[in-house]
C-alpha cells in the first residue's frame, strides 16, 4: 500500500488562500494519477480534483473550478492543491490519493490520512 502524507491544512479566513501538499516515497509515483477528495462533517466524501501522471490532464469538481488548482512535481514525489478564494463550505478533511484514469474517469486507490481545512472568520 502506498503511504501518502498530507500537510498544509489549518484555519483560514474566507477569501484567503491555502496550499496543501501531499508527499510519498512510493517508487511508482510518477506513473500514477493523483487526486484530492474532501469530506465535510455529516457529508459523504467528494471528489475535488485530479491530475494525470504527467500533469497533462486535470479535472475539477464544479464547486472548486476556477478557485482550486492541482499540480504535481514528480521529482519531489509531491502533489499540491492550491486553494484560492476559499469559502466556509470548503471546510472539510482533505485527502490526497493515488490512482488511475480509466474510461475518462479518475479512480483513487491509495489514500492519505487527511488534513483539516477550516474556513471561518
Per-residue model confidence (pLDDT) at position 52: 96
90: helix, strand or coil: helix
Determine how many CB atoms are found less than 10 A away from the CB of residue 2: 17
Interatomic CA distance for residues 96 and 79, integer angstroms: 8
Across-strand partners of 20? Answer: 81
Per-residue pLDDT band at 28 (split at 50, 70, 90): confident
Across-strand partners of 91? Answer: none
Per-residue model confidence (pLDDT) at position 25: 84
**pLDDT tens digits, one per residue of 51-110:** 999 999 999 999 999 999 999 999 999 999 999 999 999 999 999 999 999 988 999 999
Amino acid at each position: 500500500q502506498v503511504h501518502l502524507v498530507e500537510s498544509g491544512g489549518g484555519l483560514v479566513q474566507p477569501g484567503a488562500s491555502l496550499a496543501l501538499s501531499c508527499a510519498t516515497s512510493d517508487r511508482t509515483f510518477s506513473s500514477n494519477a493523483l487526486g484530492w477528495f474532501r469530506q465535510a462533517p455529516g457529508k459523504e466524501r467528494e471528489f475535488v480534483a485530479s491530475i494525470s501522471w504527467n500533469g497533462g490532464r486535470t479535472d475539477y469538481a464544479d464547486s472548486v473550478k476556477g478557485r482550486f488548482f492541482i499540480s504535481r512535481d514528480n521529482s519531489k514525489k509531491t502533489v499540491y492543491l492550491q486553494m484560492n478564494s476559499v469559502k466556509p463550505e470548503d471546510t472539510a478533511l482533505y485527502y490526497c490519493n493515488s490512482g488511475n484514469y480509466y474510461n475518462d474517469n479518475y479512480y483513487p486507490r491509495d489514500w492519505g490520512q487527511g488534513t483539516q481545512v477550516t474556513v471561518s472568520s
